[in-house]
Structure 1
């Protein structure tokens, strides 16, 4: 059984946490390297998943997979149910016939999950089905992918200035409002590097992740002149379902409308995370890669040491003390901006 590091060194993690971490890693980062068949929408057949190198030793059951989906605190996974389409026994079919049927079933399932609402309904339906055949279920991570074989735009809602949802697979999607708060959580050691590079980069993930809370008013309940509030864990979990680690030390608030106006794309995942691969800035070397530029940062707040506002409306309000800027980020923290884990990641 896996063990926790750091302050939890030597303490065994609960089986459900071990499984959730293993599923997240496979479905976000390594399914292709594990030779698992994965669709461009990110789906893997659960029967294949149970035979994966990092899953099989745990002797995981279909019931445990379904429980991981239903109990995920951050709605990390989506399910599709693809029942057999006829009564012909498997032994009566040729391998070619079986493969052709599987392709048809999966194509139908992917079409069914073309929009956020359909994806949510598909997961609810799959969890309600009484079927013990793992091959009749497909599973994927809702966000956080780094595999190039997965096209995240196929299952993310594209946000627009007028609040319309654009989706390449579902042109009938209804309009939704843009989130009022878009915030990226990071760590002390990352902030100087973000400034130096001119923005947030996705690095080893497909997109930079943002949460829809906490709001600025929640961080400063007593005004900007007072130290920022350290929200209790229950409050954090209530407002940040996913998209940011709860122990983030620095919060970067982004002006979503200004970014969209400039052509920087943003998406919303099924579990409410806001994502962006960024854009190539006009004054940036085209080979430097995309980023969400600092020009879209409304406010940057240091909340762990009580420093408060570091950046506001394009100006540095105060420098981060050297002892904090030199701190190393958590080992589980990946993505965001540049090298050494400068951004957002971990099991979120």
Structure 2
């Protein structure tokens, strides 16, 4: 499968143009919704590996104001590498998918399973959230909600090249003892853009017993009690 970074051009008006940047934000958000959640509702055909053909995407009413160049630019410049462009291995048609974050079931997302004997698996990972949710998280655990996975990062954004796994706006970091969770049979996977994913337990949860520490991130980092 021919998969590679594409579309590094500046596009109409250049990235320095404020209107262009706002268009890119709108396109990125629309792509995230379509490729993670809404393809079927929008009448878009999504393959089992999560890919949608770009020509079909751009023909949809929601994307008709955007061009192939716009899509390529947004994919190439997205700071969290949320999307992947590929040529279909059989007919060469260009296709796009989200690397993670799906609420729809994608069976062939090319996730890499993490094993306890992997030399590079993170013993600890971070889930980003918000202090307003801390009372519920502390008592009940972290839920995957309507998504297929809980998202974790191998560190805080900016640490050791960490680019994705939690939002920059998060003011709560909950550290997960990955080794303990894996020893209890909970599975973890790496996405293509370096996000650590887990479906959680049978109920879709990471229980508080797997929390190793928690921090309030803003206005300044401060450890908070787990119990």
Mark yes or no: TM-score above 0.5.
yes
Identify which of 175, 184, 192 aligns with 1:270.
Answer: 192
1:69 aligns with 2:75: yes
Structure 1 residue 245 corresponds to structure 2 residue 188: no
1:44-55 to 2 correspondences below 5 Å: 44-55=52-63
Residue in structure 1 matching 2:99, options 122, 142, 145: 142
- The Cα shift of 1:33 comes to 0.6
RMSD over aligned CA atoms reads 2.2
Corresponding residue for residue 209 of structure 1: 151
SS of residue paired to 1:182: strand
Q: Does structure 2 conserve the Cα–Cα contact (< 8 Å) formed by 1:251 and 1:301?
A: yes
Cα distance change, pair 273–310 in 1 and its aligned pair in 2 (3 A) = same
**Cα pair 1:250 1:302 within 8 Å, conserved:** yes
Deviations 1:45-77 (A, max 9, x none): 001000123111x2x211221222111111111
Task: Give per-residue Cα distances to partners, 1:286-313, cap 9 Å, x unaligned.
Answer: xxx22111111100111214472223xx
> Is the aligned partner of 1:295 residue 2:209?
yes
Q: Is the 8 A contact 2:123 2:177 kept in 1?
A: no
Show CA shifts across 1:61-101 (max 9, x none). Answer: 11221222111111111121137xxxxxxxxxxxxxxxxxx
Match of 1:36 in 2: 44
Alignment of 1:79 onto 2:36: no
| Residue in 2 that maps onto 1:14 | 22
Q: Extract unaligned runs of 5+ from structure 1.
A: 1-10, 84-104, 107-134, 164-175, 215-234, 281-288, 317-348
Choose from 259, 271, 290 the match for 2:181: 259
CA–CA distance in structure 2, aligned partners of residues 237 and 261 of structure 1: 26
Question: Could you list the per-position Cα deviations for residues 94-149 of structure 1 after superposition, in whole angstroms to 9, with x for gaps in the alignment?
Answer: xxxxxxxxxxx27xxxxxxxxxxxxxxxxxxxxxxxxxxxx81011000000113x
Native 8 Å contact 2:112 2:189 kept in 1: yes
Please give the residue correspondences for 1:155-166 in structure 2 after superposition, counting only pairs within 5 Å: 155-163=110-118
- What TM-score does the superposition give when structure 1 sets the normalisation length? 0.56
The TM-score normalised by the length of structure 2 is 0.84
Q: Moved runs in structure 1, 4+ residues, more than 6 A? A: none
How far the C-alpha of 1:14 sits from its partner, in A, is: 1.7
The Cα shift of 1:196 comes to 2.8
**Which of the residues 136, 140, 147 maps onto 1:193?**
136
Partner of residue 24 from structure 1, selected from 32, 43, 59? 32
1:303-322 → structure 2 map (5 Å cutoff): 303-306=217-220, 308-311=222-225, 315-316=226-227
SS at structure 2 position matched to 1:138: strand
The alpha carbon displacement at 1:238 in A equals: 6.8
Number of aligned residue pairs: 209
Which of the two has greater strand per residue?
2
Distance (whole Å) between structure 2 residues aligned to residue 191 and residue 51 of structure 1: 43
